[in-house]
Chains A and B, each alone.
Chain A
Amino acid sequence: MKAESLQQAQTESLIGDICTLVKARLSFLVLITTFVGFIMGTTGPMDYLLLAGTLFGTALSACGAAALNQWWEREFDAKMKRTQNRPLPAGRMHAQDALYLGIFLSASGILLLAIAANILTAVLSALTVGSYLFIYTPMKRITSLNTIVGAIPGALPPMIGWTAARGGLSIEAWLLFTILFLWQMPHFLAIAWMYREDYTAGGFRMLTSDDETGSSTSRQAIIYSMALLAVSLLPGLIRMNSPIYFFGAFLLGAGFTGCAVRFSMIRNRNAARLLFFASILYLPILLALMVMTRIP
């Protein structure tokens, strides 16, 4: 009985290691935003096979990029409390295994998107993986502007969904990109401020590194959340979504901005955590509202 439960615990931890390596939660969020882009870009009846190909191709490339990112950063991850238990720094996985898996998943994901959807979609996916790995990852230790650069690959997935469904880019696709881009800033500013000592220990240069009081971080969070509020209303104004969306997006954006304002007034870990949780709630609700109120 004891041996059985020990084996079960080991299996669970192995699966947990794979999920950590491919950043399962982050990759799932990428899939949700790709799905929203696809739905918003669809005109006429839904092509479920194309949707499946798009989502699976995106999942492969997102998981591959995450594995390659952890392979690249394994030595830095070992220096931070938050990341030192990941399978590579903890020594539970061979580094070359993660490298080969990352290359295989990224390449097959991009190839699948080219075959199942179109070349533009595959190019956008390659841009996402490439900018995440070769621009954002090395930039983390060079300049604090990395958060802004890192928000670009984070905002591309809805465009991938859109181009897979529509075959090209348009103003609506750029709107989705901008919403995702702006949303990430208060989200990551809150995380970076909460873990600023950990990031400094890992050698990362963050916008929050020299901001002990949180005044600069919270000011930036307010600016980005206000910009997000303004941009998030546009789909309701350009007849992409119904007026219900407009009012819903306004309320959500006002609530999110309120959390950023509260952070700037209180400037403690709890206020930063509230802003972080508000960002986690804000995005899925806004995206669901966008899908439900879309004007095809």
Chain B
Amino acid sequence: MILSFMIISSVGALIFLSALAVGTNDAMIRNSTGLYSGHIVGSGITEKEVPLLQVPGVKQVLFRQHQPVLLGSSDSLEPIVLTGVDPAREKEATAFWKKTVKGSYPAQGEETIFLSQETAKRLNVDVGKTVNLISRQGQPLKTLTVSGIYKTGITYLDQGVAFCSAQAMPAGEKSFSAAVFLQADAPLEDIAAQYRTLMPATAFSTWTEFMPDLKQLIDLDYFCMAIVVLLVFAIVSVGISCTFLIFTLKSLREHGIMKAMGFMSGDTALLLLTQIGLLTISAAAIGTLAGALIVGVFSNVGIDIGAYTSHNQYFAVSGILYPRLTGLALFASPFVAVIFSLMAAVWPIAYILRKNPADILRSV
């Protein structure tokens, strides 16, 4: 009972923790890509090529225009890259508009601009004020009204960029990009490879390439989880070994009788291994079921850790985690439990095998 409880509880808890780690990583990816960038970015693309990006597994493709300009107010001049977007589709696919701290996100066809809090502060402008767009060569281009001010906490969005609807973009030379948003579980690398084959002239980069810090963080998360699983079972296996030795000592006389009957050492080892193996496998199966059930509950309701992530750039959109079971999260813990339990059986087996049958029968 004690042995089963140890295995059931540790397997169940570790499956939940593994699923939580997967859920945390999912949330970081979802927040980081869903805020603005998408999962794949294609630079140097033309508008005509955009429909080619709509392959199976792709949820949304956003076409964006970029133009380096100077933003001028009565107080100062600020160099930025103005990004022209389709506001309706951007609001549909990204959570960027939710980061508005004042005013509103630009609407389709409006001659307005969406500034970061930092840029607005440097220009000393507020919602409803106007800013002048000047080319890098110093020629006035047009004037736009500030529709809203945002703050993301992410450097590449808070510094040196501003947004307006595509129709409000000034005349002049532009570069283009496409942000590709994938469906859940869509094969990122496969789709990127497909794009590279289809459009060799366009540079495509996946989120793992343009957000290497996030990639490393996720790898680190999995590495830490693996260490936790191994450490827990290393500790649990000591307990298993001690408990199993006590269990074996309780039937020491029976082992003595079996040895007297001519049980070979291999038979005894196999018997004990089978006992602990069956016990561990059944306990691990129950633990797996229990862990999966707990994950099932929380994967629907989610776990809100927003209070601890509000200033974290990887949780810029939402601090809710949805634990998710993957094959590895589901089977790694029970597999490690069985392996460690079998290893833990070595001590009791060695104890019985080393014992002379006469000594056993004499002592019990």
Instruction: State yes or no: do A and B come from one complex.
Output: no
Taking Cβ atoms with an 8 Å cutoff, the residues of B that contact A are none
* Chain A contact residues, CB within 8 Å of chain B: none
